[in-house]
Amino acid sequence: MKSKSKTYLYFFSIFSFAPFMFGPAQSAPTLSAKPIKCAQDAGWNDPASARRLYGNTWYVGTCGVSSVLITTQQGHILIDGGTPEAANLIETNIRSLGFQLSDVRYILSSHEHFDHVGGIAQLQRNTGAKVLARAAAIPALERGANDRSDPQYKIIEGFSPVKDIQPIADGETLKLGATTLTAHATPGHTQGSTSWTWRSCVANQCKQIAYVDSLSAISDDEYQYSDESQHPGVLQSFRATLHKVAKLPCDILITPHPSASDLWPRLDQEANKKLVNKQACQQYAQKARVNLDARIAKEKSSTP
């Protein structure tokens, strides 16, 4: 499939040139001597230590909700802003690595639920970054509230509305410095669900990093994924997402909830847990397929 090639470029303005004479800090981490150890079942607002994932890619989220910073010579990209309460923790983590909030140029997100985008309004204000999202996610982001197209509509919390969002389409790329991210529409968990891939290098060792959105079929009591009259095409697009995720370039999988991809045991190199796993996206998609099939079977058996 041919992907669209529209590319966002970061342009210097003469007004912003001076601070970039030497470029934003690349890596001057002053990591705390005793990093916080995160439990697999950690809370969404439990503070985590900022840490390097690979190359220019850093974990700056909490123990329970991911936020990832990708640093370049021309500024940085942040994916996901955690809960409203987590925004302060994310800001502290970015600074703890020696990076400046004002060097964050773009904020992206996985999906329009308060635990991943609740902190974006604050982060947008405090960084001055541009927020990019897929068109399907924009209405909920702008309202700070979900609607009935969201499987969890009746049980999900609202969040601070996000302003001035620029659309980015499926297959479109975002280029900043030497890094190019690709947006992948992966609807299912929500209609706006988006996954992101990029390449990160340490010397000449380059890895494909895939930040793949939640794939869980979770809903309130009212919603049925298999109800074609209410939600036409939704189940089909969810299944298409699982096919797509299995084929993403994927040496290192990161998920919006670190526990969904065993991030902590992988980072701590516990037994049989490796940060790099070329099958990780396939395995993640397969697990989601089993869950979705079980969910649909349940819907079919409970529908009169």
Residues with a known catalytic role: 111, 113, 115-116, 189, 223, 257
Q: How far is the CB of 281 from Zn ion (least distance, A)?
A: 19
Instruction: Check binding of 257 to Zn ion (CB under 5 A).
Output: no
Whose structure tokens read 């021309």? 74
Give the count of beta carbons closer than 10 Å to the beta carbon of residue 92.
12
Q: How do strand 194-202 and strand 179-185 relate by DSSP bridges?
A: antiparallel
Provide the H-helix boundaries in the chain: 87-96, 114-117, 120-127, 138-143, 234-246, 263-267, 280-302
Task: Closer to Zn ion by CB, 113 or 231: give it.
Answer: 113
Q: What's the DSSP call for residue 158? A: -
Task: Closer to Zn ion by CB, 193 or 200: give it.
Answer: 193
Q: How far is the CB of 115 from Zn ion (least distance, A)?
A: 6
Task: Closer to Zn ion by CB, 111 or 244: give it.
Answer: 111
Q: How far is the CB of 192 from Zn ion (least distance, A)?
A: 11
Q: How far is the CB of 27 from Zn ion (least distance, A)?
A: 31
Task: Closer to Zn ion by CB, 99 or 238: give it.
Answer: 238
Residue 260 in 3-state DSSP?
helix
d(CA 198, CA 207): 8
Dihedral (CA of 30, 36, 41, 45) sign: negative
Task: Closer to Zn ion by CB, 64 or 75: give it.
Answer: 64
Amino acid at 111: H
Instruction: Check binding of 199 to Zn ion (CB under 5 A).
Output: no
The residue range among 98-106, 107-115, 172-180, 269-277 that interacts with Zn ion, by the rule CB under 5 A, is: 107-115
Backbone φ/ψ region at 75: left (φ over 0), alpha (ψ -120 to 50), beta: left
Q: How far is the CB of 151 from Zn ion (least distance, A)?
A: 9
* 194-202: strand order across its sheet: 7-8, 173-176, 179-185, 194-202, 205-211, 252-254
> What residues between 29 and 48 interact with Zn ion by CB under 5 A?
none
Question: How big is the site for Zn ion, counted in residues (CB under 5 A)?
Answer: 1
Instruction: Check binding of 113 to Zn ion (CB under 5 A).
Output: yes
Name the closest residue to Zn ion (Cβ).
Answer: 113
Give the count of beta carbons closer than 10 Å to the beta carbon of residue 304.
2
Residues that bind Zn ion (CB under 5 A): 113
